[in-house]
Amino acid sequence: MVNLRINNRELAVAEGSTILEAARTNNIKIPTLCHYPDLGIQSDCRICVVEIEGQKGLATSCSTIVRDGMVVKTNSPRVLNARKTITELILANHDANCTACPKNLSCELQSLANKLGIDENRFQSVLTLSPLDEGNPALIRNPNRCIKCGRCVDVCKNIQGVGVLELMGRSHHLKIVPAFDHCLSDLFCTYCGQCAAVCPVGAITEKDDTDIVWRALNHHDKHVIVQVAPAIRVSLAEEANMNPGTVCTGKIVTALKLLGFDQVFDTDFTADLTIIEEGNELIHRLTSGGVLPMMTSCCPGWINFAEQHYPEILPHISSCKSPQQMFGALAKTYYAEKMGLEPANVFVVSIMPCTAKKYEAGRKEMRANEDLPDVDVVLTTRELGKMLRQMGIDFANLAETPFDDPFGITTGAAAIFGASGGVMEAALRTVYEVVNGEPLTNLDFTDVRGLDGVKETVVKLAEKPYRFAVANNLKNARLMAEAVKAGTSPYAFIEVMCCPGGCIGGGGQPYGTITKTRLDRIKATYQVDAAMPIRKSHENPAIAKLYQEYLDRPLGEQSHNLLHTHYHARRGKPNN
């Protein structure tokens, strides 16, 4: 332990702590701006400066390690003046039109300025407006709001290992841009949206599609249906200021009905369907000498990454569409027929934790009817939160409603799709029982759960042990892809989820997602699973009925047409 004094309080803190950590564990508040708990220390904004006795300048508390006998003042007049001055400098070069910003009231700069009591800026505005980067379906970059904190660069380069964003130029010409100041769509951006998730201001946000949804909801010819991804039920509550990990499935259905959706469906249903198709594809590949290891295909960020960075390994990726797109395809065929509706009048909205899903929904391959997208609009968790606020819905106090049929029955296997390792676990529950013809004694494949980068398990299928792996985030996906490309991958099947922690940590999830938030959402996810009466996809009676009524059999012709897709190498610009 190290003994030091902060603001006349004697403290003992762990060796190697920073002053900021020491202060926070003792409930002493030091404001920060570029600092983000899961990322590296940038120490660029200089907001967290403190005074250390015997030291001339001010030191950033985020990067200064405590020493025995240190005397620190976090709120001296010198410190407060410095923080205020620095914030004014940032504001003088920031498009501070707060009420016209999607981050209004959740902006870290806005709240900092408020905390520091800034009511006028001594400095003249030096902002020169630059054009927005909005040439892609998922993300908008607004350089006029960027405060150059570097969080997006860090997450893209060091967490995801993609490195699309970089600092360019110097002095006040410094900007954070996709390489060579191109647009995101010109480069290998996967649209994972982790940059948008960590941006403290509104400089990178998802493309807001709520207006299109409002228009559809108010259009009397449209039959507007909505699907809700597995990860939304453990995160949407945060948009209503409830705790991370609050399960709110029934409230979501009620809320969506209040917004005016005709039918509210669960993407979990097509997650179960994915397991049937993907599980059978794996068994087929294993038994017929197919391309191995097989890799999952649910995550559109991963598909973008593979198509752009590893075109060589595309044959390894399962041809199954993602649950979102399986739902869309069925909605505009099976469901429309069943309801006697024109496919063109069925308007499909997805609520996804993800920004890359917006890109996926626009792909040309994702159309059961020509010129008609299977999924019309994808909204992130945050956009749904915005719609709830627009309608004045008191989410926390809503009653619970079950999902609508015919996609109403789902299983625990589908519920865990939202957590990294969930797809693998769901697939193993089915593949094991189908291949071995015996029930699993323990449904919990805990080896593949959690936040580790690469997770592994071994399962015996027809007496033979096979190795299965899960890659959590794109940096680890790259490791897997390299091995697959080199032909040295020892696995039969690999799950890849692009965002840290899986979809529960997706780029479209409520702001402020850190490791603790991820763990809370994961815990809730497995609680949902454990509470389900059915926990294996192949035991879902509604799925059996769907095959009986419409699809015939897994990997059959109808499945091939509606539920499977193909991939192609892409360089830079999306070619569809």
Partner 1 sequence: MIEMRLVSKRCGIINPLSIDDYQKADGYETFRKALARDKIKLIEEIEKSALRGRGGAGFPVHLKIMGLAKETGPVKYVICNADEGEPGNFKDRYLMENDPHAIIEGMLITAYMASATKGFIYIRGEYNHAYNTLEWAIAEARRLKLLGDAILDTEFSFDIELRSGGGSYVCGEEFALIESIEGKPGRTRVKPPFPTQKGLYGLPTLINNVETFATIPLIIKMGGKAYARIGTKSSTGTKLISLSGNVNEKGVFEIPFGVTIRQVIEELGHGVANGRKLKMVQLGGACGPIIPEYMLDMMIDFERFEEFESKTGAGAIIVIDDRFDIFDILMNVVGFFEHESCGKCTPCREGHQQLRIILQKFIDKTAGVKDLVSLESLARVMHQTSLCGLGQTSPTAIISTLRYFRDDYIDRMDSLIL
Which residues carry out catalysis? 278, 281, 298, 318, 357, 360, 365, 503
Does the protein bind partner 1 through residue 68 (CB under 8 A)?
Answer: no
Q: Is the dihedral of CA 364, 208, 574, 308 positive or negative?
A: negative
Distance between CA atoms of residues 289 and 416, nearest Å = 30
Does the protein bind partner 1 through residue 573 (CB under 8 A)?
Answer: no
Q: How far is CA 301 from the centre of its chain?
A: 9
CB of 506 to partner 1, least distance (A): 30
Q: Is the dihedral of CA 121, 141, 471, 188 positive or negative?
A: negative
Q: According to CB under 8 A, which one of 124, 288, 441, 488 is a site residue for partner 1?
A: 124
Distance between CA atoms of residues 187 and 195, nearest Å = 15
Does the protein bind partner 1 through residue 174 (CB under 8 A)?
Answer: yes
63 versus 401: smaller Cβ distance to partner 1: 63
CB of 201 to partner 1, least distance (A): 13
- Neighbour-count burial for 322-355, b at 16+ CB within 10 Å, e otherwise: bbbbbbbbbbbbbbbeeeebebeebbbbbbbbbb
Does the protein bind partner 1 through residue 558 (CB under 8 A)?
Answer: no
Among 56-64, 386-394, 404-412, 550-558, which window interacts with partner 1 (CB under 8 A)? 56-64
CB of 62 to partner 1, least distance (A): 9
CB of 134 to partner 1, least distance (A): 25
Among 19-27, 78-86, 186-194, 318-326, which window interacts with partner 1 (CB under 8 A)? 78-86
CB of 56 to partner 1, least distance (A): 6
Interacting positions 488-547 with partner 1 (CB under 8 A): none
CA atoms within 13 A on the CB side of 203: 28
92 versus 372: smaller Cβ distance to partner 1: 92
Q: Are 545 and 300 in contact (CB under 8 A)?
A: no
Does the protein bind partner 1 through residue 58 (CB under 8 A)?
Answer: yes
173 versus 566: smaller Cβ distance to partner 1: 173
168 versus 217: smaller Cβ distance to partner 1: 168
Sheet holding 493-497, edge to edge: 294-295, 493-497, 464-472, 454-461
How many chain residues interact with partner 1 (CB under 8 A)?
Answer: 36
Q: Are 368 and 348 in contact (CB under 8 A)?
A: no
Q: According to CB under 8 A, which one of 10, 77, 170, 486 is a site residue for partner 1?
A: 170
172 versus 516: smaller Cβ distance to partner 1: 172
42 versus 185: smaller Cβ distance to partner 1: 42
Q: How far is CA 437 from the centre of its chain?
A: 36
Q: According to CB under 8 A, which one of 14, 126, 132, 391 is a site residue for partner 1?
A: 126
Q: At what angle do helices 323-330 and 267-287 cross, to 10 degrees?
A: 110
- 135 burial (CB, 10 Å; 0-12 / 13-18 / 19+) is middle
DSSP letter at 447 equals G
Q: Is the dihedral of CA 71, 74, 80, 81 positive or negative?
A: positive
Interacting positions 79-108 with partner 1 (CB under 8 A): 81-82, 85-86, 89-90, 92-93
Does the protein bind partner 1 through residue 127 (CB under 8 A)?
Answer: no
49 CB neighbour count, 10 Å cutoff:
23
Does the protein bind partner 1 through residue 43 (CB under 8 A)?
Answer: yes
Q: According to CB under 8 A, which one of 67, 78, 338, 568 is a site residue for partner 1?
A: 78
Q: Tell me the C-alpha to C-alpha distance, in Å, between residue 266 and each of 185, 285, 511.
A: 31, 29, 24
Among 22-30, 39-47, 136-144, 473-481, which window interacts with partner 1 (CB under 8 A)? 39-47
78 versus 364: smaller Cβ distance to partner 1: 78
Does the protein bind partner 1 through residue 172 (CB under 8 A)?
Answer: yes
Does the protein bind partner 1 through residue 57 (CB under 8 A)?
Answer: yes
78 versus 338: smaller Cβ distance to partner 1: 78
DSSP per-residue string spanning 365-381: TS-SBTTB-SS-EEEEH
CA atoms within 13 A on the CB side of 86: 22
The token duo for 492 is 């039969």
Window 128-167: contact mask with partner 1 (x via CB under 8 A): -------------------xx------------------x
Residues lying near partner 1 in the complex (CB under 8 A) are found at: 41-47, 49, 56-58, 60, 63, 65, 78, 81-82, 85-86, 89-90, 92-93, 122-124, 126, 147-148, 167, 169-174
